Structure 1
């Protein structure tokens, strides 16, 4: 095992407080938040189960891992929430001067659409 890998190999959590693995060295059954999101899951309130550590540009970096068996399905937006978001986006695209709905968001720096500015 390379020295860099040995520095971050702590599966019992004695050195770092939680089980720690090197880059791409975590066992199956763990995933990061991004990996959970790709599978349609979320941590679901569970604590951090382990971490991955590696030497990066700014020093030692870490990524937290969660258990796959405790992960829950992602919540989906209700029709009411989707309608509220659509209404808010329509308000951002409506010009205050000419009241035209534009295909882009009105720049806050101008306060009106580009044609009116």
Structure 2
């Protein structure tokens, strides 16, 4: 059920034009959420949200959730995931799996709470199954 509390087409109450969940079609066909833009292969770019959806939710703090709406005609194409970006991400993840004390690479991310692998933290030696296979 939609709540008239969330209907604010001129934006006087919430700062942005606000519509209840499921009523965005009332506003404009040219609006979409981030998720909808992503499904179209687009991203908001530098444009600011022009409206928002609002609905009741038990999961949200305060019981209300929102979703920003962006203009589809101002959206930009998604940036492609290049080979260089993939190499950079792989290097960053490898660094998170490398113990700064023993310099061994693990199959899991080193806990930041320990600052080193659990074996070094406890003063032991790591198990073979925890280590990444040498390439």
Q: TM-score, normalised by structure 2?
A: 0.64
State the Cα distance separating 1:62 from its structure 2 match: 2.7
State the Cα distance separating 1:26 from its structure 2 match: 0.3
Cα gap change, 1:95 to 1:29, in 2 (>3 Å)? same
Q: Please say if residues 95 and 113 of structure 1, whose CA atoms lie closer than 8 Å, have aligned partners that are also in contact.
A: no
Residue equivalent to 2:51: 50
- Name the SS of the counterpart of 2:73 in structure 1: coil
Match of 1:111 among 113, 116, 119: 116
- Name the SS of the counterpart of 2:48 in structure 1: coil
How many pairs align?
114
User: Is it true that 1:35 corresponds to 2:19 in the alignment?
Assistant: no
Alpha-carbon distance between aligned partners in 2 of 1:26 and 1:64, rounded to the nearest angstrom: 11
Alpha-carbon distance between aligned partners in 2 of 1:66 and 1:112, rounded to the nearest angstrom: 44
**Deviations 1:58-84 (CA, angstroms, capped at 9, x unpaired):** 144432211112111122344333222
User: Is it true that 1:69 corresponds to 2:67 in the alignment?
Assistant: no
Alpha-carbon distance between aligned partners in 2 of 1:87 and 1:76, rounded to the nearest angstrom: 19
Gaps of 5+ in 1: none
Alpha-carbon distance between aligned partners in 2 of 1:106 and 1:47, rounded to the nearest angstrom: 38
**RMSD of Structure 2 on Structure 1 (CA):** 2.8
- Name the SS of the counterpart of 1:69 in structure 2: helix
Match of 1:86 among 83, 86, 90: 90
